[in-house]
Structure 1
Amino acid sequence: MKPLRRAGGTFPDPLPENVVRTVGALDGGPAWLESLPETLAGAQDAWKLVLDAPFEGGSCSWAGPARTDSAEHAVLKVSFPHREARGEAEALRFWDGAGAVRLLRASEDGFALLLEECRPGGTLRDSPGEPDELLAAGLHVLAWLWRRPPEPGLDLESLEAVTADWAGLVEKRHPRLRPGADPYLVRTAVGLLRSLPRTAERSVVLHGDINPGNILAAERAPWLAIDPKPMVGDPGYDVWPLIMQIDSPMRLVDPRPALRSRFAAAAEILGEPADRLAAWSAARAVESAFDRYNIGSYPAGDAELAQAQLLADVAGL
């Protein structure tokens, strides 16, 4: 295979270790990793790009700087084909830069994307500032993404279908993986995963993973979102990663006052009831805990189950 053109050398560089570890453990992952240099070469030739070494981080995709034949800076992203990545091109095309990076080109299957580059590109997570200020900045990005209502024919999964699948998985995993988990908390989360999407007062195009590492400093807006895992449905689903990851309220002796304050701020900015946002967060934390148990990560799962209990208290469940 001919080497890939890049600034200062040729590809392939070693892949980020986390991508190799994560994708390599998935069905079809080793074959995808083996074919990745050819996939990158195809995108490079089709879109006339010069590539540079991939970014660190990520788990299921190769992403790195690219320069077009007109000397414009961009980012090439090639994802392992999986459910969460299937709608990324569709959502970015729908938003058209309103709160998220712009989609410049996409492969026919939607898993290879040429994206607007964010400069300076630092993440909200790594930005200096008080947690409340950073949280507000992230929430305003989320409000921007939700501003335009979904259109008929938008090819994105419904939140209701996805969370119904998750509810079934939690029910199956509870007795097998963590039978000692609080049955009331688990039953409540399962019920919420099924009922909350059906009782939403409005539907939006959800980002799906709006954590502070997926919000970047940009030039045409203070902050833009990247790496969506989009669906269509209840906006309350989206806030959990921002609330919990902007810093770590779990370090406090009693995190509940800080969490109530954050949900109140989110309710004011987003126009959604604070208790509903907290209920969604509790349900998502339980689902995530059992997903971690399923891959053998029991300490992380237990931490998220403890988080879910606090969130349930804040929601008044």
Structure 2
Amino acid sequence: MPSVLPFDPPQRLVRALEAQPDAQAAATAASWLRGLPELLARWLERWELTPERVVSPGGRSSLVVLVRQADGTPAALKLVAPDGAPAPDRALRESAALARWDGLCAARLLRAEPGEGALLLERLHGEVSLRALPEAKATLEAVSVVRRLWVPAGDAGGVFETVAEHTRTEAALMRAGAPAEVRPLVDAALEAREELLGSTGDGGEPVLLHGDFRQGAVLSGGERAPWLTVGPDPLVGEAAYDLARLTRDRLHDLMASSGAASSVRRRVHKLADSLDVERERVRGWTLYRAVESGVRNLSAGARADGEMLLDFATWL
């Protein structure tokens, strides 16, 4: 049996799972964390993998371990945490999206048991993301990657939520959890969502979206490709939705700069124009997603991050 690394789960993962929105989800997450060493050992044995190290700080919804396959080929084992819905949902969506992209600007899926939350992925250079580049260069490379991800969902389309379905649940939580002082901003975000879903503009046909596309999710691909994305939370919908998270990249740096509000508006226009997407649709989804993230952070007790996101939203 392959040796198992002695480890404590990365604290970013622990904190995220402890901040579940309800008691049942929190209990499920706690149970998963307690069983993580045994779960890791089982998948190392089943897929004949030799562990090298746990990726830290890692993500907020999964454990990633760098491994070697039986033939010595490097790979990354990803164990996906339950998401409050039936446990396999997140892993099923990710594996379906990666299979659909088949290595096109995304990490290749090598093996998968999505029903058990286990994915074996092509190993990328995780220590080098687009955030290592100057902002202008990083934006240029990000545009190149995301453009190629936007393909029809194909036969796997039924696996993914639509943007409308996904944001319906978020919108309900926003209405219920927003403090009184941010209600006007929440109302503006919800109105933007309704307007965007009620019209199509020139957004074209719905496409497969990464769902959490940002500079930190685009890693060096080494010899196979300069840059490849990881960690999708895939949806089906209009392209403008996928630019909303990218628009607020390097937010701490942006907040500390002079003329930040003008810089944000220029960034929206630049991304929209680079990808032939309506500026107003990018602005609207950026507003909605920033407010949703801000309210969610406030609800989880991360007040500084929540207030920063809401400040960012006021510039839109």
Alignment-derived partner of residue 111 in structure 1 = 117
Alignment-derived partner of residue 69 in structure 2 = 68
Q: Is 2:141 the counterpart of 1:149? A: no
Alignment-derived partner of residue 32 in structure 1 = 32
Q: What is the CA deviation profile of residues 64-92 of structure 1, one whole-angstrom value per residue up to 9, with x for unaligned ones?
A: 11111111110001011216834111111
**What letter matches 1:222 in structure 2?**
P
TM norm structure 1: 0.87
Number of aligned residue pairs: give it: 298
In the TM superposition, residue 132 of structure 1 has moved relative to its aligned partner by 1.5
Q: What is the CA deviation profile of residues 97-152 of structure 1, one whole-angstrom value per residue up to 9, with x for unaligned ones?
A: 11110111111416211000113751111x132x1221111121111111x21214
Alignment-derived partner of residue 60 in structure 2 = 59
Alignment-derived partner of residue 123 in structure 1 = 129
Alignment-derived partner of residue 9 in structure 2 = 15
Q: 1:303 to 1:211 in 2, by over 3 A?
A: same
Alignment-derived partner of residue 211 in structure 1 = 214
Q: What is the CA deviation profile of residues 259-286 of structure 1, one whole-angstrom value per residue up to 9, with x for unaligned ones?
A: 2322222123221012211111011111
Aligned partners of 2:194 and 2:43: how far apart in 1?
A: 40
Match of 2:205 among 199, 202, 211: 202
Aligned partners of 1:128 and 1:16: how far apart in 2?
A: 26
**Contact map agreement 1:88 1:110 (CA 8 A) in 2:** no
Matches within 5 A, 1:106-255: 106-109=112-115, 111-119=117-125, 121-125=127-131, 127-129=132-134, 131-146=135-150, 148-154=151-157, 155-174=159-178, 178-181=179-182, 183=184, 185-200=185-200, 201-219=204-222, 220-246=224-250, 248-255=253-260
**Contact map agreement 1:212 1:245 (CA 8 A) in 2:** yes
Q: What is the CA deviation profile of residues 133-187 of structure 1, one whole-angstrom value per residue up to 9, with x for unaligned ones?
A: 21111121111111x212144211111111111112211222xxx101252x321
**What letter matches 1:68 in structure 2?**
Q
In the TM superposition, residue 251 of structure 1 has moved relative to its aligned partner by 2.1
Q: Secondary structure at the match of 1:181?
A: helix
Q: Is 2:261 the counterpart of 1:256? A: yes
Q: Is 2:271 the counterpart of 1:269? A: no
**What letter matches 1:30 in structure 2?**
A
Aligned partners of 2:153 and 2:111: how far apart in 1?
A: 22
Alignment-derived partner of residue 294 in structure 1 = 299
**What letter matches 2:211 in structure 1?**
G
Bigger Cα displacement from structure 2, 201-210 vs 223-232? 201-210
TM norm structure 2: 0.88
What root-mean-square deviation, in Å, do the aligned CA atoms of Structure 1 and Structure 2 show? Answer: 2.0
What runs of 5+ residues in structure 1 fail to find an aligned partner?
312-317
Bigger Cα displacement from structure 2, 193-202 vs 158-167? 193-202
**What letter matches 2:107 in structure 1?**
V
**What letter matches 2:69 in structure 1?**
T
**What letter matches 2:237 in structure 1?**
G
Aligned partners of 1:267 and 1:123: how far apart in 2?
A: 22
Q: Secondary structure at the match of 2:213?
A: coil
Q: 1:33 to 1:41 in 2, by over 3 A?
A: same
Deviation >4 Å, runs of 4+: none
In the TM superposition, residue 252 of structure 1 has moved relative to its aligned partner by 2.6
**What letter matches 1:98 in structure 2?**
L
Aligned partners of 1:193 and 1:163: how far apart in 2?
A: 8
Q: 1:167 to 1:22 in 2, by over 3 A?
A: closer
* Same amino acid, percent of matched pairs: 30
Alignment-derived partner of residue 2 in structure 2 = 5
**What letter matches 1:300 in structure 2?**
D
In the TM superposition, residue 241 of structure 1 has moved relative to its aligned partner by 2.4
Aligned partners of 1:256 and 1:292: how far apart in 2?
A: 22
Q: What is the CA deviation profile of residues 32-63 of structure 1, one whole-angstrom value per residue up to 9, with x for unaligned ones?
A: 11211221122112211111220102222110
